[in-house]
Amino acid sequence: MDKQSIYKMKKLIILIAIVIVAVVWYQSALASRSNNKEPLTFSIESGQGTSTVANRLEEEKLIGSSLAIKIYFYLHKDLTIKAGDYLIEPKTKTRILIAKLSEGEVADNEVSVLIREGLTVKEMNEYLKKEGFMKDDSFLTAAAQYEGYLFPDTYRMYKDFTADDLVEKMRANFEKKLTSDLRAAMDASGHKPEDIIIMASILEKEVRTEEEMKIASGLFWDRLKVGQALQSCATLAFILGVNKPQYSYEDTQIKSPYNTYQHPGLPPGPVSNPGLRAIKAAIYPAKTDYNYFLARPDTGETVFSVTLEEHNAAKAKYLK
């Protein structure tokens, strides 16, 4: 056999090896199981494409590889992913999950209740009534004493669930999300756990991204160290029950222990129900030279400033 033939043979062997590895990987990915330890709900909205759904499935660790799902649906063009709420049992095989999604095997005796980060108990109550989950203010009554400790998440509930059912599930989820590592970090932070949650509730309402939350967290903790008023608009929103792009001087004069424009220190309790990002930001603040910030009404972007002069310039530019 000449050198050219040997070279071609080697290329063929390598190609065959690559194909074999790819096939083994593909079959292994389809045989993988979801990592959820409890039944959970996965919701697909109308119009969400295969790529989006596959990426979400991988992010939530319900499949081993989003690429494998994309390849599967590419090879099976007669199948499509159908919108709906899917109940995913623990350790569900990817092949079975694909069958569920393509056949539209949705749970019909349950509903998904999405509670977003940063809502107050009052705002949750209004949302539940608006969406038809509640007919009265029973959630407001059941959850009144748990402001700040109701974890925002998507909850799978039976259609006839009560306010107490949802509150119990949200409280249990909060305790579960605060892992032993997070609790240890809270203890080591130098702040009381309840103060961490209060700070997180402010951050959740004040800024949007995780990075901004960490910067704002450092800024607020620094203000507390020197006895400076927090001057948090989130606390005014909690008092007034209205979210405004900019609050008036009269708003800052309202009499309330939650008014951090008038009272130094943290407010007496949380002003929203924070998610993990805000809680972690309260525990792990970023150290910066920033002293002021504002949110641009047009984009929602947070503009941080070091000096009052810079801050006033930003207010003149963005808060016209």
- pLDDT, tens digit, 9 for 90 and up, residues 214-229: 999 999 999 999 999 9
* Mean pLDDT of the 56-81 span: 90
Q: Using N-to-C axis directions, what is the helix angle for 193-206 and 180-188, rounded to 10°?
A: 100
Res. 204: pLDDT tops 80? yes
The structure tokens 């809502």 sit at 119
Closest CA to 94 of 73, 68, 114: 68
Q: Using N-to-C axis directions, what is the helix angle for 210-225 and 276-283, rounded to 10°?
A: 40
User: How confident is the model at residue 243, as a pLDDT?
Assistant: 86
Instruction: Clarify whether residues 226 and 305 are in a common domain.
Output: yes
Q: If DSSP codes are grouped into helix, strand and coil, which group holds residue 4?
A: helix
Instruction: Clarify whether residues 310 and 235 are in a common domain.
Output: yes
- pLDDT, tens digit, 9 for 90 and up, residues 261-294: 999 999 999 999 999 999 999 999 999 999 999 8
Instruction: Clarify whether residues 164 and 190 are in a common domain.
Output: no
Closest CA to 293 of 314, 279, 272: 314
* Mean pLDDT of the 1-18 span: 75
User: How confident is the model at residue 41, as a pLDDT?
Assistant: 85
Res. 51: pLDDT tops 80? yes
Instruction: Clarify whether residues 219 and 306 are in a common domain.
Output: yes
User: How confident is the model at residue 153, as a pLDDT?
Assistant: 94
The band of 7, judged by pLDDT with boundaries at 50, 70 and 90, is low
Instruction: Clarify whether residues 133 and 83 are in a common domain.
Output: no
CATH of the domain at 78: 3.30.1490
User: Last residue of a domain, which of 103, 119, 150?
Assistant: 103
* Mean pLDDT of the 155-181 span: 94
Instruction: Clarify whether residues 58 and 121 are in a common domain.
Output: no
User: How confident is the model at residue 256, as a pLDDT?
Assistant: 96
Instruction: Clarify whether residues 244 and 125 are in a common domain.
Output: no
The band of 107, judged by pLDDT with boundaries at 50, 70 and 90, is low
Instruction: Clarify whether residues 147 and 233 are in a common domain.
Output: no
Domain that holds residue 133: 110-177
* Mean pLDDT of the 63-89 span: 88
The band of 202, judged by pLDDT with boundaries at 50, 70 and 90, is very high
Q: How far apart are CA 78 and CA 75, in angstroms?
A: 9
Res. 1: pLDDT tops 70? no
Instruction: Clarify whether residues 190 and 290 are in a common domain.
Output: yes
Instruction: Clarify whether residues 194 and 283 are in a common domain.
Output: yes
User: How confident is the model at residue 108, as a pLDDT?
Assistant: 62
Q: How far apart are CA 261 and CA 254, in angstroms?
A: 9
Count up the domains in the chain and report the number. Answer: 3
User: Last residue of a domain, which of 103, 119, 151?
Assistant: 103
Q: Which stretches within the chain are classed as H helix? A: 3-31, 50-59, 66-75, 94-103, 121-130, 138-143, 163-177, 180-188, 193-206, 210-225, 233-240, 249-252, 276-283, 308-318
Cβ(280)–Cβ(182) below 8 Å: yes
CA dist 160 → 85, 89, 156, 183, 219 (Å):
17, 21, 12, 34, 45
Q: Among the ranges 7-16, 22-31, 195-204, which has the highest mean pLDDT value?
A: 195-204
Instruction: Clarify whether residues 309 and 198 are in a common domain.
Output: yes
Instruction: Clarify whether residues 196 and 303 are in a common domain.
Output: yes
